[in-house]
């Protein structure tokens, strides 16, 4: 699963790229829920590299 760090600038570029609607606006940053399928589309469009794979 991917996660969004505190580096998120809440620009919204990632949300429309998610094919399963797993990205939602939070209080201070966007968040990714359990529907994430790890396709990586959101990672490619993030202008501040705030999205990465969750470390297990």
Query: Is pLDDT above 80 for 56?
Result: no
Query: Which residues lie closer than 8 Å to 56 by C-beta, 6 or more apart?
Result: none
pLDDT digits (tens, 9 = 90+) for 1-55: 999 999 999 999 999 999 999 999 999 999 999 999 999 999 999 999 999 998 7
Domain boundaries, the chain: 2-53
Q: Which CATH architecture describes the domain 2-53?
A: 2-Layer Sandwich (3.30)
At residue 55, the pLDDT reads: 79
Q: Give pTM, 2 decimals.
A: 0.89
Q: What is the pLDDT of residue 20?
A: 98
* Residue 20 burial (C-beta neighbours within 10 Å; 0-12, 13-18, 19+): exposed
């Amino acid at each position: 699963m991917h996660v969004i760090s505190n580096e998120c600038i809440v620009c919204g570029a990632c949300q429309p790229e998610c094919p399963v609607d797993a990205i939602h606006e939070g209080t201070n940053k966007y968040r990714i829920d359990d529907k994430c399928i790890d396709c990586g589309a959101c990672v490619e469009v993030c202008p501040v590299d705030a999205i990465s794979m969750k470390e297990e």
